[in-house]
Chain A
């Protein structure tokens, strides 16, 4: 329970809470980037270096770009972005749902006994991860590769289909 862990957790939670309550979408995405960097720092505290840098590369380097481009390509005039009674009601219901789920999970976490023996964590070297990926989980790796290729092709097709050709047909 050291200061680094507490600061990382605090920064991540505060930036995600603020990010998801702002009106300005670009500020939301940039604060969410700070959340992802905070999660990367959290992984580093636990010595999971490979996952931490993968998270940085994928989320901060790629998904943030996709989200920012999507925000830029779908901009509307800001007058339509107003708070009204329906959205406040919806927010209250969502808050009740979220808080009840959180209390349920907190109860489960705090009232479960941890196992008696403490095993020391093995250093997770990249070599061991790679060995497992290519030996035992090779089919999963190849399926994930195909999935990513299909997802990229699908999203290019979806986003590039222009409405003019629909009107003509």
Chain B
């Protein structure tokens, strides 16, 4: 596991994070915004696993445990987010996020 591979994997997770970020900022459909957030959480997980498998602590596997908890929390956040989406849809009959602006101004 040399330097080049490590750099490649870290660049990969940065690229995935930025793709998730661009999605969250630019799409107007709430579902894709939530999925972009999921992708950002995934890229952070990739970073943890890459570091753990190349430069590990000798006694504990902190990276793996952190990733486990992150996956669990990302799953619960996806569930709650999509439930909010359905509640919003029942109110305004569309998922375009720009229309949820009644409290603006």
Contacts and interface: CB of A to CB of B under 8 A. Distances in A.
B82 A128 contact: no
Contact of A101 (B18, B29, B54, B56): B18
B79 A66 contact: yes
Interface in B1-57: 1-12, 14-23, 25-29, 31-32, 34-36, 38-39, 42, 45-46, 49-50, 52-56
Interface in A93-126: 93-95, 97-99, 101-102, 105-106, 109-110, 114-115, 118-119, 121-122, 124
Interface residues of B, number: 75
Nearest to A55: B71
Nearest to A73: B86
A48 B65 contact: no
Contacts of B100: none
22 contacts: A1-B8, A9-B8, A16-B39, A17-B19, A20-B20, A20-B27, A35-B39, A48-B53, A58-B75, A63-B74, A67-B78, A67-B82, A74-B31, A95-B26, A97-B25, A101-B18, A102-B18, A106-B11, A121-B56, A124-B64, A152-B76, A155-B82
